[in-house]
């Protein structure tokens, strides 16, 4: 096989045979043949001497597939082996690629016919540049510009290379190059941009060649986002671009360039130029697209170029207004063109294209937020009242002039567009998340949420926008919605879609308006309780639970403890009455509890209690005290029934409907107790009252049961108890360990799949014990502690993100606790190197990228530990390694270099040593330490071709939390149900 012969470098490859082989592989070849070709390709990419064969192939084949095969080989060599090549080989390769590019692009015919091949060669050249430029190829930009001036086709290709280079450095570099390399390339491009700038201006002013002008505009578009602003505003560039805008052939590319300029910001230094640019463009636009044009209709019937123009126009307006809208508010002339631009944008927002609408929506959200925030921050309550849409002109002393007056004038300026925007939001409101009511495997009716991510994201942005608009003017919002509703009722504007969007719009602003209860004779909660049996008569069980939870929220708000207890007693009267009947019957005949209808009733009563407990917290104490002991007896009995069924019926018995129903009661019992203890205030007497009676019925039952009958909720319940009552649980930890530790480990360490709920909850319990009852862990034997540490390391190697994260958090807790204990030396002598090995293993494994933040924290802890002086004994084995190290830090540094050198054979010892030294130098600066590790992962090539967003997850999470806090500060932005769900989750 010809491809196999590529491995033999002793003679040039038989190119015709290779042509046939590649055609078979990538044309009509089978899946196995293609897989074999890919395998050979990877082998060849790892051979640094392959470039000589590549040169031979490229010089002797006309087959495009074969050329691409050879270039893929070459790309692999550049990516993985470049720095290991001798200088003469690197020079030979870059000269060879440059020569082919010049040869093909200097001739019009070859440049057009071989365009795909030339484009691939350009990409290869830019990959070389990322290694060689600027340090080892300082003349690249001058050479390129000089070559561009020799021929218009060469110039066109030079523009393509420059565009690729800009994109690689400024757009695609994150996660593929180290921070230092990115910085170096950006500085080089900036310092040499004058030559590129002069070349672009020369082409645009002198060339008549359409392809070259388009290539130049495309290259400029890639450069405009980062070049120094002087090149734009202090040269003829902007004026030149505006001359090209009316020309149909260049209109879209020119508008893209102007959009990049519009998105730049540099204080108010170039405000005059921005106003001039906007004014000229608006004048040209009214000729190209008259203001009275029905843009949605024109878009629907337009060709691809015309549709792209509307899309680009949306991007221009939104980019310009986001940064420069304030400078257009200064004079009446500018205000006129500003309002005209907003009219265009509103019209574009009705275009039936999701991507166009997303662009517009993003800006509308930004604008209404900007208009709303200053009003909200005004200290004057009258301004706030006016903001809410109330007529309070008599309440505005002090706001006739000054800052408040300016804000109100600005709001008035945008009143017209905002009114039209409200109608737009109402007409185009996206669908919120759907909720289906379904029956689960136990026969319970539950709420199931279906999510369409794209539509749901759009709905959330539109909802936020409409809430801002409602706050800015409630009257207009109400009028627009009522007008739309009346048209639905009259049939004038009726369609199902219009009705749906109106309903979604009305529902979206729930919570944004202030409501009063009017004309109450007694507290509303009392009215509800008086008519309770009638109110719930026609409700399904899941609806009754939601109702009880809501009423309990009202009871919780009652400050009078006597009234509160009375309300609770009235609320629970019906379920308590049924509960007492069942317990009374069970006392006479215990088999009564085995009836399936009775079991369902017991489950329903417990679910009602859980709903109320979640709202009342500590105030639920009288109710749970009354049913607690009977509830534990029922728990014990049902557990024995389950064990007996599984013992007699085998493993499949656990899947029968009867056993599932019994287990539902057990789980709900545990959930009720956990909910109450979690929500109750931290009162030690509550723990003393409820924890001891559970030790045998719950913990003992868990230990005695068959694995399939053990409830994972037992683990989460005791994790909650330990987190709640902290050090007071130290004496109980041995009992907890005895009941759950060994038997649970046997369940979860056989593989990574079985008992997923037990896995996560087991490590949550361990973490609670390590955090609050650490002295109990010190009392473990060395074999037991090894079991704990092994299980932790097993956890963070898990591919399930939640389990791995819990394991890493637990590891950090253990490391910190042992650091401060008398067993510090003993513990770290046993586990320091093992922990370092395991963390580096998962850190450099792309399956565990989400744990990056915690991996970094563990490594930082280990390296910081070496500098604190806490470790007073050697970490190396003195018996097997008689050589003495001056310190543990020196030993670990040498050990880590050996470890990573063995793990990454593609990296030189010097590169690994530089990385490890960098770790020790930055241990006290977490940000630098983290960046250093990120750069190493990228440099190691393990992560370079991956999606590396998880390496930046911590920064993204911080941004999300800032956004959440902002939303919490504005009524209605976070719906009440979302807040409630957050409380339940926490």
- Per-residue model confidence as pLDDT tens digits over 955-983: 666 666 666 676 666 666 666 555 554 44
> Looking at residue 913, what is its pLDDT?
92
pLDDT, tens digit, for every residue of 301-350?
A: 999 999 999 999 999 999 999 999 999 998 889 999 999 999 999 999 99
Q: Which residue has the higher pLDDT, 393 or 158?
A: 158
Residues 6+ apart with CB under 8 A from 441: 660
Pairing of strands 445-450, 434-439: antiparallel
Cα–Cα distances in angstroms (integers) from residue 337 to residues 292, 418, 505, 723, in the given order? 15, 16, 31, 62
> Looking at residue 816, what is its pLDDT?
93
Structure-token pair, residue 956: 């993204």
pLDDT, tens digit, for every residue of 645-682?
A: 888 887 678 788 899 999 999 999 999 999 999 999 87
pLDDT beyond 50 at 209: yes
| 3-class DSSP state of 404 | helix
Helices (H), 1-63: 2-5, 15-23, 31-45, 50-60
> What b/e string do you get for 322-332 counting C-beta neighbours within 10 Å, with b at 16 or more?
bebbebbeeee
Tell me the percentage of the chain whose pLDDT exceeds 90. 42
> Looking at residue 828, what is its pLDDT?
94
Structure-token pair, residue 986: 């926490």
Among the ranges 192-201, 239-248, 756-765, which has the highest mean pLDDT value? 239-248
Radius of gyration of the chain (CA): 36
Residue of 309, 306, 402, 292 whose CA lies nearest to 347: 292
What is the number of H-type helices and E-type strands within the chain?
50, 2
Contact 609, 672 (CB under 8 A): yes
> Looking at residue 618, what is its pLDDT?
92
| Beta carbons within 10 angstroms of residue 846's beta carbon | 13
| Beta carbons within 10 angstroms of residue 779's beta carbon | 12
| Angle at alpha carbon of residue 111, lines to 105 and 113, rounded to 5° | 160
pLDDT grade for 175, boundaries at 50, 70 and 90: low
Contact 438, 426 (CB under 8 A): no
> Looking at residue 964, what is its pLDDT?
67
Cα–Cα distances in angstroms (integers) from residue 692 to residues 139, 697, 735, 742, in the given order? 80, 10, 11, 22
> Looking at residue 36, what is its pLDDT?
60
Residue of 401, 534, 546, 419 whose CA lies nearest to 470: 419
pLDDT, tens digit, for every residue of 511-557?
A: 666 554 745 566 788 888 888 899 888 888 888 999 999 999 989 98
Structure-derived torsion over alpha carbons of residues 674, 678, 681, 682, reported in degrees to the nearest 10: 90
Among the ranges 225-229, 258-262, 377-381, 649-653, which has the highest mean pLDDT value? 258-262
Asked which of 77-91, 151-165, 461-475, 798-812 is least confident by mean pLDDT, the reply is: 77-91
Contact 700, 739 (CB under 8 A): yes
> Looking at residue 450, what is its pLDDT?
63
pLDDT beyond 80 at 406: no
> Looking at residue 398, what is its pLDDT?
38
> Looking at residue 713, what is its pLDDT?
95
Mean pLDDT, the chain, as a whole number?
84
Structure-token pair, residue 188: 């080089």
pLDDT, tens digit, for every residue of 688-714?
A: 899 999 999 999 999 998 888 899 999
> Looking at residue 948, what is its pLDDT?
45
Instruction: Please state, in angstroms and rounded to a whole number, the distance separating the CA atoms of residues 36 and 49.
Output: 21
pLDDT, tens digit, for every residue of 411-434?
A: 889 999 999 999 998 888 888 877
* Per-residue H/E/C for 332-359: HHHHHHHHHHHHHHHHHHCCCCHHHHHH
Q: What are the two backbone dihedrals, phi and then psi, of residue 46, each rounded to the nearest 5 degrees?
A: -90, 5
Q: What are the two backbone dihedrals, phi and then psi, of residue 78, each rounded to the nearest 5 degrees?
A: -65, -40
pLDDT grade for 394, boundaries at 50, 70 and 90: very low
> Looking at residue 942, what is its pLDDT?
47
pLDDT, tens digit, for every residue of 803-817?
A: 889 899 999 999 999
pLDDT beyond 60 at 374: yes
Q: Which contiguous run of DSSP H or E holds residue 644?
A: helix 621-649
Residue of 781, 812, 780, 778 whose CA lies nearest to 795: 812
| 3-class DSSP state of 157 | helix
Q: What are the two backbone dihedrals, phi and then psi, of residue 29, each rounded to the nearest 5 degrees?
A: -65, 155
Q: Which residue has the higher pLDDT, 28 or 245?
A: 245
pLDDT beyond 60 at 832: yes
> Looking at residue 625, what is its pLDDT?
94
Beta strand spans in 402-454 (E)? 434-439, 445-450
> Looking at residue 306, what is its pLDDT?
94
Q: What are the two backbone dihedrals, phi and then psi, of residue 156, each rounded to the nearest 5 degrees?
A: -60, -40
Q: Which residue has the higher pLDDT, 189 or 664?
A: 664
Q: Which residue has the higher pLDDT, 945 or 655?
A: 655
């Amino acid at each position: 096989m010809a491809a196999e012969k590529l491995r033999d470098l002793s003679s040039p490859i038989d190119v015709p045979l290779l042509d046939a082989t590649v055609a078979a592989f990538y044309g009509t070849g089978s899946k196995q043949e293609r897989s074999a070709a890919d395998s050979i390709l990877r082998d060849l990419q790892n051979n640094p001497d392959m470039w000589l064969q590549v040169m031979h192939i490229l010089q002797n084949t006309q087959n495009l597939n074969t050329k691409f095969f050879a270039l893929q080989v070459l790309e692999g060599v550049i990516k993985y082996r470049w720095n290991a090549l001798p200088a003469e080989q690197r020079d030979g390769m870059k000269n060879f690629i440059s020569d082919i590019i010049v040869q093909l692009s200097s001739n019009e015919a070859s440049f057009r016919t071989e365009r795909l091949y030339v484009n691939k060669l350009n990409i290869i050249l830019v990959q070389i540049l990322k290694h060689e430029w600027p340090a080892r190829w300082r003349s690249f930009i001058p050479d390129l510009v000089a070559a561009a001036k020799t021929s218009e086709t060469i110039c066109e290709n030079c523009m393509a290379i420059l565009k690729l280079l800009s994109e690689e450095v400024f757009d695609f570099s994150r996660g593929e190059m180290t921070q230092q390399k990115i910085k170096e390339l950006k500085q080089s491009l900036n310092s040499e941009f004058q030559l590129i700038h002069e070349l672009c201006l020369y082409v645009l002013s002198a060339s008549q060649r359409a392809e070259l002008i388009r290539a130049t505009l495309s290259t400029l578009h890639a450069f405009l986002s980062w070049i120094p602003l002087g090149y734009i505003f202090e040269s003829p560039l902007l004026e030149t671009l505006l001359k090209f805008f009316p020309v149909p052939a260049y209109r879209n590319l020119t508008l893209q360039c102007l959009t990049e300029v519009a998105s730049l910001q540099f204080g108010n230094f170039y405000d005059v130029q921005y106003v001039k640019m906007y004014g000229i463009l608006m004048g040209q636009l009214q000729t190209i697209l008259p203001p009275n044009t029905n843009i949605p209709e024109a878009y629907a019937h337009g060709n691809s170029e015309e549709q792209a123009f509307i899309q680009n126009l949306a991007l221009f307006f939104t980019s310009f207004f986001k940064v420069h809208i304030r400078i257009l508010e200064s004079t009446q002339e500018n205000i006129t063109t500003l309002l005209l631009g907003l009219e265009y944008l509103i019209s574009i927002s009705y275009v039936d294209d999701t991507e166009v609408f997303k662009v517009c929506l993003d800006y509308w959200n930004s604008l209404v937020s900007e208009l709303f925030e200053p009003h909200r921050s005004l200290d004057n309550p009258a301004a706030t009242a006016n903001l809410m849409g109330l007529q309070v002109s008599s309440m505005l002393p002090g706001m006739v002039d000054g800052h408040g007056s300016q804000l109100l004038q600005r709001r008035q300026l945008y009143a017209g567009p905002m009114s039209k925007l409200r109608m737009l939001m109402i007409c185009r409101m996206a669908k919120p998340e759907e909720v289906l009511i379904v029956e689960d495997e136990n026969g319970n009716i539950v709420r199931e949420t279906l999510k369409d991510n794209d539509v749901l994201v759009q709905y959330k942005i539109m909802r936020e926008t409409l809430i801002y608009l409602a706050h800015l003017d409630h009257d207009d919002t109400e009028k627009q919605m009522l007008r739309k509703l009346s048209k639905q009722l009259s049939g004038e504007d009726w369609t199902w879609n219009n009705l749906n969007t109106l309903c979604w719009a009305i529902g979206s602003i729930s919570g944004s308006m202030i409501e009063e209860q009017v004309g109450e004779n007694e507290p509303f909660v009392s009215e509800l309780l008086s008519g309770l049996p009638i109110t719930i008569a026609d409700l399904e069980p899941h609806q009754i639970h939601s109702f009880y939870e809501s009423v309990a929220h009202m009871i919780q708000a009652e400050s009078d403890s006597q009234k509160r207890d009375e309300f609770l007693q009235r609320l629970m009267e019906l379920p308590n009455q049924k509960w007492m009947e069942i317990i009374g019957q069970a006392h006479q005949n215990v088999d009564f509890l085995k009836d399936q209808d009775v079991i369902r009733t017991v489950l329903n009563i417990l679910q009602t209690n859980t709903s109320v407990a979640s709202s009342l917290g500590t105030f639920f104490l009288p109710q749970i005290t009354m049913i607690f002991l009977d509830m534990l007896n029922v728990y014990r009995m049902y557990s024995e029934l389950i064990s007996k069924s599984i013992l007699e019926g085998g493993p499949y018995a656990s899947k029968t409907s009867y056993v599932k129903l019994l287990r539902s009661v057990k789980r709900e019992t545990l959930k009720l107790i956990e909910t109450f203890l979690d929500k109750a205030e931290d009162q030690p007497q509550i723990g003393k009252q409820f924890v001891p009676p559970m030790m045998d019925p719950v913990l003992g039952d868990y230990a005695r049961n068959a694995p399939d009958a053990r409830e994972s909720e037992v683990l989460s319940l005791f994790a909650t108890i330990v987190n709640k009552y902290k050090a007071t649980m130290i004496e109980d930890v041995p009992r907890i360990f005895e009941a759950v530790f060994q038997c649970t480990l046997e369940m979860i360490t056989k593989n990574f799949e079985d008992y997923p709920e037990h896995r996560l909850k087991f490590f949550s319990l361990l973490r609670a014990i390590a955090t609050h009852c650490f002295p109990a862990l010190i009392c473990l034997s060395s074999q037991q502690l090894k079991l704990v540490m092994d299980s932790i390391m097993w956890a963070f190697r898990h591919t399930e993100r939640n389990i791995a994260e819990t394991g890493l958090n637990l590891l950090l807790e253990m490391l910190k606790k042992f650091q401060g204990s008398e067993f510090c030396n003993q513990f770290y002598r046993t586990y320091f190197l093992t922990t370092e090995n395991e963390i580096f293993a998962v850190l450099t494994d792309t399956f565990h990228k989400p744990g990056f933040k915690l991996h970094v924290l563990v490594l930082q802890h280990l390296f910081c530990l070496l500098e604190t002086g806490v470790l007073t004994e050697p970490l190396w084995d003195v018996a097997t390694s008689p050589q003495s190290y001056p310190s543990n830090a020196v030993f670990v540094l040498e050990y880590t270099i050996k470890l990573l050198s063995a793990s990454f054979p593609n990296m030189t010892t010097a590169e690994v040593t530089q990385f490890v030294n960098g770790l020790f130098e930055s241990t006290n600066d977490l940000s630098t330490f983290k960046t250093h590790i990120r750069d190493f992962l990228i440099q190691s090539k393990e992560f370079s071709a991956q999606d590396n967003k998880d390496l930046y997850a911590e920064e993204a999470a911080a941004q999300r939390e800032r956004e959440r806090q902002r939303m919490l500060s504005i009524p209605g932005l976070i719906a009440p149900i979302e807040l409630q769900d957050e409380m339940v989750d926490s």
